[in-house]
Amino acid sequence: MKTIKGPALFLAQFADDVAPFNNLKDICTWAASIGYKAVQIPTWDARLIDLQKAAEDMDYVKEIQATVKAAGVEISDFSTHLQGQLVAVHPAYNELFDAFAPTELAGDLKGKQEWAVQQLMWAAKASKNFGMNTHATFSGALMWHTVYPWPQRPAGLVDTGFEELAKRWLPILDEFDKYGVDVCYELHPGEDLHDGVTFELFLEKVNHHKRANILYDPSHFVLQCLDYVEFIDIYKDRIRMFHVKDAEFNPTGRQGVYGGYSSWVERAGRFRSLGDGQVDFNAIFSKLSQYGFDGWAVLEWECALKHPENGAIEGAKFISEKIIRVTEKTFDDFASTGADEGLNKKILGIN
């Protein structure tokens, strides 16, 4: 067993044009001041990092590392959630994802995809340059508009969809493999990889690529009514990253999983600050510790009600208290009779 590292903070929901959230040095100093030991950096945010320079300029790498260290934290991982989304986009969502790419690519589906792939290639090298071996992203989606089987899906549609998704991701996975970095897909609504079944379908199409792994986030499974604790038992060998995020699901006589097009505040399923939702984090931290997960416990803060700064402050304390310092001995060692093969045989009656 190994002790989980943490707490760490995903900066995506906190980066802003207002100080101290508008540059890497100050946001890291703030994170350290409220109890975080590491930060996870969203690589699409130019206020925090230049991904191309992180991949190509070692002087820049050293500069960023020095900045973060001086602020009192380290970098846990990089994220390309927005770029990964654009690796696979159905044309119906083209304009909706324009904000994820440079403005000059607005409406250009192929251009956004090519840009996203280049971003992922840089992320592989940048992760290596910073000494990381895990990376967070989304899979994108070609089939999300067919997630409910009405109208009936044509025979072979899902197989063809996952073949195409694998075709797009295999060169990226190979690039990450070249640098010894795992690609950790956050299984998330709106992605073709959104639960265990879809991850397995993808894994088969990429020939069980060793770099195709999972960013475990239980909040998305609460909203799917999926057993998020058993999920760890099943996929423990592929879980390489962990987002600590809470959620609640309170169905009514009017709405359930689909939410009735309601706002986040009014949805039956909604994300909450740590401790305010329904996720059993005692069970999760126990399972991950039992299976030797030694990555970072990273707060991804999202809540329909609470202010983000309060959520971050409470989250650092919450994660610190949930991390289990694993034992190096058995609790009943005080009663040990030692190792004696002769005694063992005598107890078994086989002398």
pLDDT tens for residues 140-167? Answer: 999 999 999 999 999 999 999 999 999 9
Q: How far apart are CA 146 and CA 283, in angstroms?
A: 33
Percent of the chain scored above 90 by pLDDT?
Answer: 93
pLDDT tens for residues 177-196? Answer: 999 999 999 999 999 999 99
Query: Across the strands, what pairs with 38?
Result: 8, 74
Closest to 132 in 3D by CA, of 187, 68, 195: 68
pLDDT tens for residues 282-303? Answer: 999 999 999 999 999 999 999 9
Instruction: Indicate the pLDDT class of residue 330, thresholds 50, 70 and 90.
Output: confident
Cβ proximity of 21 and 338 under 8 Å: no
Q: How many CB atoms lie within 10 A of CB 125?
A: 19
pLDDT at 265: 96
Angle at 100 between CA 99 and CA 103, to 5 degrees: 55
Structural domains of the chain ordered from first start: 5-348 (3.20.20.150)
| Mean pLDDT for the stretch of residues 94-105 | 98
Cβ proximity of 59 and 37 under 8 Å: no
